[in-house]
Amino acid sequence: MNNIEREIKYMAQVVEQELRRYLPEKDEFPSKLHEAMHYSTLSGGKRLRPIMVMKAAEFFGMPYEKVMPTACGIEMIHTYSLIHDDLPVMDNDDFRRGKPTCHKVYGDSLALLAGDALLTHAFSTIAKNSKIEDILSDAVIDVIEKVSLAAGGYGMIGGQTVDIATVGKDVSLDTLFYISSHKTGSLISISLWSGARLAGASKVDLEAIKSFGKKIGLIFQIVDDILDIKGDEIILGKPVGSDVKNMKNTFVHLYGYDNSIKLVEKLSFEAKELLSNYKNNDFFIQLTDFISKRNY
């Protein structure tokens, strides 16, 4: 295990502990709903999005402990999207992170509601950041606005909508880039932007970290597409071949396997260049490699 893997593992444990604090009590009525929320949210994973919030805050001089409400809120949004993605009306997947998906354990209706509850609870959690010392309320308001846009029809949901609408159809590369940059990239990019905004980063710095996030988000989705063809189900914790089964448009399908790997390499170089003038960029340089070279 290298340095970045050790740091991500440690910070993921921190996020896991904090999520338990911000989620509703598991046995609080209606307990089945809260149990389902706990089941999916605390099922493991690398916690990359909250870690990006935390590390971006550190990058611009703020201790990561101060941005934990936003980090946890964004992870709740991510978890809700996974619960809904796995439902029979979407991707119809039976496993996530090596465990039965939420609807397989709690049924379709409760899984749907657990996702809804997580999405709603996320914003009350992010709002708690306004009560943390050294965090400006204006910054929290900006974060809530931008996160809602990134998670909704202008971002993640917009990408998912076009993704569903084009199943089984030929699409242009522009459309594929739209799907990936919104469906996956929006939440990754806004995680970095949010941590930086709460830390008081300048407009120039916010634009730099946001652009870096867009590159990282695309890399993440392209690698996901590659892993759906070549990945190891045990390592991934979910079945491979889901995109083929669901007739999804992917970079491997449109671009080809070798060209997809070359595109990842190109985007990785561009991402690193965006932060090359910053002295304390080691984590983000290593993170780029970690995301671009995971398990293929």
Say whether pLDDT at 255 is over 90: no
Determine the pLDDT at residue 247: 53
Average pLDDT over residues 252-274: 93
Q: Give residue 1's pLDDT band: very low, low, confident or very high (50, 70, 90).
A: low
Distance set, CA 203 to CA 34, 56, 209, 247, 290 (Å): 39, 14, 10, 41, 27
DSSP state of 99: E
| DSSP class per residue in 73-96 | HHHHHHHHHHHHHHSTTTT--SEE
Q: What is the pLDDT of residues 180-223, one digit of tens each?
A: 999 999 999 999 999 999 999 999 999 999 999 999 999 999 99
Predicted confidence band of residue 178 (pLDDT cuts 50, 70, 90): very high
**Which has the closest alpha carbon to 81: 28, 136, 39, 118?**
118
Question: What pLDDT shows up at residue 249?
Answer: 80
How many distinct helices (H) and strands (E) make up the chain?
Answer: 16, 2
Q: What pLDDT shows up at residue 231?
A: 46
239 pLDDT higher than 60: no
What are the structural domains of the chain?
Answer: 3-292 (1.10.600.10)
> What letter does residue 31 receive in the DSSP assignment?
H
Amino acid occupying residue 259: N
pLDDT at 227 over 70: yes
Question: What's the rounded Cα separation, in Å, for the pair 160 and 137?
Answer: 31
Banded pLDDT at 2 (limits 50, 70, 90): confident
Closest CA to 48 of 222, 239, 184: 184
Residue 242's pLDDT band, with cuts at 50, 70 and 90, is low
Residue 58 tokens, joined? 């550190």
**199-211, pLDDT tens digit by residue?**
999 999 999 999 9
- 245 pLDDT band, cuts 50/70/90, is low
- Mean of the pLDDT values across residues 244-271? 85
49-63, 83-97, 143-157, 225-239 — which is least confidently predicted? 225-239
Give the pLDDT score at 232.
46
Angle at 51 between CA 262 and CA 218, to 5 degrees: 25
Is residue 84 within 8 A of residue 43, CB to CB? The reply is no
Does 230 score more than 90 pLDDT? no
Q: Report the mean per-residue pLDDT for the chain.
A: 92
Q: Quick one: average pLDDT of 66-92?
A: 96
Contact 56, 200 (CB under 8 A): no
